[in-house]
């Protein structure tokens, strides 16, 4: 396809038409120039392709497909290679079904457990989210199928999501919300990016040039096309000027006509329209040229892949020696989800699964007894089901209760109002644990839940929404055929009120203020030294691991260099297993308020019993920096940084210190209201001002009285503090004979010229 030639031959109307969908899922054709349509389809954890026999309005059944574990689960794998495998499978499915772009992954930050769409999002941590998304993208696009990284930007709630304004300061945007997208764009290089519904600091994402062009394209180097979320366009002309190339779905020609009118009236340059068309056609052509219609979609193999993946993702939260179970044990599976697992969330990512494997089905050869325990359609106690479950629990060695959140509790389109599980399920767990000391809880949920019964059960396995093969994967873990290796990609607070966004989440009408700033998730809990239910990065295994011999290839470095940190990891147990080594960096104390420590690297390592492996990590400038608003860049404060090798954000195993020297001088402009302490902390400035300070100390009325009353009123500590925090101009108030305004200003001017 000679895209430049094609664009030159198109009419204005044809160009405008290509910038919106033909229907719900397809781009437009230009038949007279042989420009083909291409199809996009929902993801990200399965192919939700609209049946071609439908009316393309997105309301009819999608084709049968594999539902893989959702992002809340896959992020807990901390496994880049696993996400690449998922992407490769999805890419093959798209090629088999002639889908050019799959809509995902979604990389929005989990600001609050209440967000109804958290099950589609990876993490509260931007680095982990970016790495998981980047690997997912690489896998899909290795099959010459595009991805659409979404939802750009600051789409962290479902409540009023189409009109809400996310009000966020620049440093927080850069360090938390933009960072997840930045890493995914730079490492994964997605073919497309999808803008969000909401406003960001007053401007809709669909027409926000600062993010769609200045940052996404000019700073990060994104070279694909930007599409709208479905119905996210507010002002189409403003959108295309900002960098929104493709409007989805079809506008019925209304917005196409507006683009034509704007060009003819001179409000829109035709070359801007040409640029959008070029971007769209470039991606269409990339897919067409690499079309592989012979691709085989092995649905059974992909089902088994989904089971294997969930085995890597599920997180063993608690285990007081009760797991793994033995085939010879008498075991009861209790709870509706044991026979009918909740394995995915509601909304645009909902997959029409080829089949669903329950735990009861997967354990049919193990003599497991099943009792339903609770109803799923309403949160009310069914005493008959409860009593039956209690009686069954009494007769066995171990009771495994399958619980969690029903579909109605979390979904795209609305947020949760609390963090509790249904009361009927909590009551069931309490009742069973009362009669059966050997009780395990398996959770099916897309976001953290409160666990009022946590101290009454011996084991908890967080399965999350683990895809259509979740039942088999859970049974594999319960019976020790798979050693659990998942780690929490989000903190589980004890109660909702502990969450840093609690007071302001959801906002007031259409204004959502992110007042917690950079203190999202563990960054907040660790800074507050707050007790949590389970910390970020937590996850148990059936074996044990020892960290030792941490080293760094240098003890001092400049911020434009890198340091390689290595350590030995040993499997000290009797079972083969995998450990996620997490690297956190702790900044030195300074004037900038920062988290205690932040995740900067990780690796998942598999070890045989007794085996030791050396694991190495390379850390560069971003690992030590924060976003400096005045510099408009990442800045490293000079000082000693602690590098922690950890099993979770609260389980720090090994530590080493590295001194990092900044190569960038902070922009400081002094003035008459600069404090004397700030000036003296700058060696160059202190040298200039020292003679004046010496004169001041001799002539100051403060602290120079010999009287007992004066000494008791003005202590040396008070005098020192007042002097340190006194603005320079105040010298004139306490020692007017020492200097003049003119002299002070001349000193300030000399300092600023340094």
For the segment 49-72, what is each residue's pLDDT rounded down to a tens digit?
Answer: 987 654 444 556 899 999 999 999
Q: Is residue 28 a contact partner of residue 37, using CB atoms and an 8 Å limit?
A: yes
Task: Report pLDDT for 715.
Answer: 76
Per-residue model confidence as pLDDT tens digits over 144-191: 999 999 999 999 999 999 999 999 999 999 999 999 999 999 999 999
Closest CA to 75 of 26, 118, 17, 15: 118
List all residues 6 or more positions away from 252 whose beta carbon is below 8 Å from its beta carbon: none
More confident residue, 683 or 279: 279
Alpha helix locations (H) across 467-602?
A: 470-478, 522-528
Task: Report pLDDT for 615.
Answer: 98
Closest CA to 307 of 354, 265, 237: 354
Strand partners, 149: 193
Dist CA 699 CA 734 (whole Å): 8
Percent of the chain with pLDDT over 90: 89
Written as six digits, the tokens of 152 are 């750009």
Task: Report pLDDT for 591.
Answer: 86
Task: Report pLDDT for 666.
Answer: 87
Angle, vertex CA 398, rays to CA 394 and CA 399, nearest 5: 70
Per-residue model confidence as pLDDT tens digits over 523-566: 999 999 999 999 999 999 999 999 999 999 999 999 999 999 99
List all residues 6 or more positions away from 708 whose beta carbon is below 8 Å from its beta carbon: none
Least confident of 223-227, 416-420, 739-743: 739-743
Report helix, strand or coil for 193.
Answer: strand
Task: Report pLDDT for 128.
Answer: 98
User: Is residue 516's pLDDT more than 60?
Assistant: yes
Task: Report pLDDT for 231.
Answer: 97
Dihedral of CA atoms 405, 411, 414, 418 in degrees, nearest 10, equals 20
Report helix, strand or coil for 212.
Answer: helix
Strand partners, 582: 602, 646
Dist CA 407 CA 741 (whole Å): 70
Pick the catalytic residue from 23, 229, 415, 526.
Answer: 229
Strand intervals (E) in 196-327: 199-200, 203-204, 225-228, 315-319
Q: Is residue 289 a contact partner of residue 7, using CB atoms and an 8 Å limit?
A: no
Length of the chain equals 754
Task: Report pLDDT for 326.
Answer: 97
Q: Are strands 315-319 and 459-462 parallel, antiparallel or unpaired?
A: antiparallel
Within 10 angstroms of residue 503's Cβ, the number of other Cβ atoms is 10
Per-residue model confidence as pLDDT tens digits over 657-670: 999 999 998 888 99
Task: Report pLDDT for 56.
Answer: 43
Task: Report pLDDT for 735.
Answer: 77
Residue 69 carries which DSSP code? P
Dist CA 324 CA 357 (whole Å): 21
HSE-CB at 314 with a 13 A cutoff on CA atoms is 34
Can you give the C-alpha Rg of the chain in angstroms?
30
User: Is residue 696's pLDDT more than 90?
Assistant: no
Average pLDDT over residues 23-38: 96
User: Is residue 367's pLDDT more than 70?
Assistant: yes
User: Is residue 636's pLDDT more than 50?
Assistant: yes
Closest CA to 127 of 633, 538, 537: 537
Q: Is residue 124 a contact partner of residue 536, using CB atoms and an 8 Å limit?
A: yes
Whether 256 is catalytic? no
Report helix, strand or coil for 150.
Answer: strand
Written as six digits, the tokens of 432 are 């069973």
User: Is residue 468's pLDDT more than 50?
Assistant: yes
Residue 217 — very low, low, confident or very high, per pLDDT cuts 50/70/90? very high
User: Is residue 716's pLDDT more than 90?
Assistant: no
Per-residue model confidence as pLDDT tens digits over 288-313: 999 999 999 999 999 999 999 999 99
Dist CA 735 CA 733 (whole Å): 6
Angle, vertex CA 685, rays to CA 679 and CA 691, nearest 5: 95
Residue 747 Cα to chain centre, angstroms:
49
Task: Report pLDDT for 733.
Answer: 85
As a whole number of angstroms, the longest Cα–Cα distance in the chain is 100
Per-residue model confidence as pLDDT tens digits over 71-117: 999 999 999 999 999 999 999 999 999 999 999 999 999 999 999 99
Dist CA 286 CA 290 (whole Å): 6
User: Is residue 259's pLDDT more than 90?
Assistant: yes
């Amino acid at each position: 396809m000679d895209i430049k030639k094609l664009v030159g031959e198109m009419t204005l109307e044809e160009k405008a038409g290509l910038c919106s969908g033909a229907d719900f899922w397809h781009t437009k054709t230009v038949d007279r120039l042989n420009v083909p349509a291409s199809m996009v389809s929902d993801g990200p954890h399965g192919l939700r392709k609209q049946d071609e026999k439908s009316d393309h309005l997105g309301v009819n059944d999608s084709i049968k497909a594999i539902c893989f574990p959702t992002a809340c689960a896959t992020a807990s794998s901390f496994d880049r290679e696993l996400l690449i495998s998922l992407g490769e499978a999805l890419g093959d499915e798209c090629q088999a079904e002639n889908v050019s772009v799959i809509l995902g992954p979604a990389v929005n930050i989990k600001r609050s457990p209440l967000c109804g769409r958290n099950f589609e999002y990876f993490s509260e941590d931007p680095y982990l989210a970016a790495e998981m998304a980047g690997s997912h993208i690489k896998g899909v696009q290795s099959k010459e199928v595009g991805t659409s990284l979404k939802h750009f930007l600051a789409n962290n709630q479902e409540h009023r999501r189409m009109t809400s304004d996310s009000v966020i300061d620049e440093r927080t945007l850069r360090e938390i919300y933009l960072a997840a997208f930045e890493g995914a764009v730079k490492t994964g290089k997605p073919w497309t990016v999808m803008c969000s519904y909401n406003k960001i600091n007053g401007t809709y994402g669909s027409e926000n040039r600062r993010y769609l062009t200045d940052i996404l394209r000019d700073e990060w180097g994104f070279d694909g096309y930007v599409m709208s979320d479905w119905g996210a366009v507010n002002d189409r002309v403003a959108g295309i000027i900002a960098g929104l190339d493709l409007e989805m779905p079809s506008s019925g020609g209304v917005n196409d006509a507006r683009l034509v009118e704007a060009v003819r009236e001179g409000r829109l340059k035709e070359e801007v329209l040409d640029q959008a068309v070029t971007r769209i056609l470039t991606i269409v052509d990339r897919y067409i040229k690499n079309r592989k219609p012979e691709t085989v979609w092995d649905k059974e193999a992909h089902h088994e892949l989904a089971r294997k993946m969930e085995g890597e993702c599920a997180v063993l939260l608690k285990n007081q020696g009760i797991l793994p179970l033995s085939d010879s044990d008498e075991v009861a599976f209790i709870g509706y989800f044991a026979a009918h697992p909740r394995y995915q969330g509601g909304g645009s990512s909902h997959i029409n699964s080829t089949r669903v494997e329950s735990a009861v089905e997967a354990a049919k050869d193990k003599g497991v007894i099943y009792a339903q325990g609770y109803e799923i359609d309403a949160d009310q106690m069914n005493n008959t089901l409860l009593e039956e479950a209690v009686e069954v629990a009494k007769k066995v060695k171990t009771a495994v209760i399958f619980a969690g959140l029903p579909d109605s509790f979390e979904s795209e389109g609305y947020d949760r109002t609390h963090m509790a599980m249904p009361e009927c399920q909590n009551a069931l767990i309490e009742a069973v644990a009362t009669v059966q000391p050997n009780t395990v809880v398996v959770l099916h949920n897309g976001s953290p839940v409160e666990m009022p019964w946590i101290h009454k059960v011996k084991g908890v396995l967080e399965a999350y929404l683990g895809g259509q093969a979740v039942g088999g994967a859970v049974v594999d873990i319960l019976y020790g055929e798979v050693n659990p290796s998942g780690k929490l990609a989000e903190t589980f607070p004890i109660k909702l009120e502990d969450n840093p966004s609690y007071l302001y989440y959801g906002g007031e009408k259409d204004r959502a203020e992110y007042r917690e700033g950079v203190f999202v998730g563990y960054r907040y809990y660790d800074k507050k030294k707050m007790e949590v239910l389970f910390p970020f990065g937590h996850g148990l295994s059936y074996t044990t691991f020892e960290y030792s011999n941490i080293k760094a290839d240098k003890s001092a470095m400049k911020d434009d260099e890198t340091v390689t940190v290595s350590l030995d990891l040993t499997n000290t147990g009797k079972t083969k297993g995998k450990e996620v080594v997490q690297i956190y960096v702790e900044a030195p104390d300074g004037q900038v308020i920062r988290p205690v420590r932040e995740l900067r690297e990780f690796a998942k390592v598999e070890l045989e019993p007794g085996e030791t492996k050396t694991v190495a990590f390379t850390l560069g400038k971003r690992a030590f920096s924060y976003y400096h608003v005045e510099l408009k860049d990442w800045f490293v404060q000079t000082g000693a940084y602690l590098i922690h090798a950890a099993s979770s954000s609260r389980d720090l195993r090994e530590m080493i210190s590295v001194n990092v020297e900044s190569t960038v001088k902070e922009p400081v402009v002094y003035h008459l209201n600069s404090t004397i302490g700030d000036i003296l902390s700058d060696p160059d400035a202190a040298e200039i001002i020292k003679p004046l300070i010496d004169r001041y100390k001799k002539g100051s009325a403060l602290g120079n009285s010999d009287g007992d009353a004066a000494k008791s009123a003005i202590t040396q500590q008070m005098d020192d503090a007042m002097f340190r925090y006194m603005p320079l101009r105040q010298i004139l108030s306490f020692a007017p004979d020492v200097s003049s305004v003119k002299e002070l200003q001349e000193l300030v001017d000399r300092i600023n010229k340094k």
